[in-house]
Amino acid sequence: MMSICESPYGFEDGQIVSYRVTAERLEVIFEFWNEQRGTVLFEGLIGIHDAGAIGVTVGSVCEMKSSDFLASLVARHYEKPPEAVTWKLFRFLDVDDGAMLDVVADSCSFAGIEHAQGG
């Protein structure tokens, strides 16, 4: 497993607050351990599998090399699967290393910290 996109506070002990899916993009609103919120962007979205991710404490976020979910997406998109695909599997894990949210996309990036509105 490899760590995914860098964030200023790390992902441990944070929570997914919400997410928004469009045709080829996933925006995850993430609340860090210090109550700051930021947005993680997944571009070239192929699929997501939510196993109860909202509001659960995150233990880590990593890039996986394979999974049944990734294999099912490859089978759905290709009549004859290629030897390799360029898609990446990003996984949010809870504190017990259970999968909370799987995202298959081309890339992941940290879009920045939200600044509080008003005073």
Tokens of 12: 């441990």
Residue 105 lies in a domain: yes
Q: What is the pLDDT of residues 55-110, one digit of tens each?
A: 999 998 888 888 899 888 988 888 887 887 889 999 999 999 999 999 999 999 88
Phi and psi of 40, rounded to 5°?
Answer: -110, 125
Residue 119 lies in a domain: no
Residue 82 lies in a domain: yes
Which domain does 60 fall in, by range?
Answer: 2-113
Residue 17 lies in a domain: yes
User: Which among 36, 45, 27, 48 is positioned nearest to 7, based on CA atoms?
Assistant: 36
Residue 96 lies in a domain: yes
Residue 29 lies in a domain: yes
- State what percent of residues in the chain have pLDDT above 90: 58
**Whole-model pTM?**
0.86
Instruction: Give the C-alpha separation, 55 to 21, whole Å.
Output: 18
Instruction: Give the C-alpha separation, 76 to 61, whole Å.
Output: 26
Residue 118 lies in a domain: no
Residue 20 lies in a domain: yes
Query: Which pLDDT band holds residue 119 (cuts at 50, 70, 90)?
Result: very low
Q: How many domains in the chain?
A: 1
Position 58 scores a pLDDT of 93
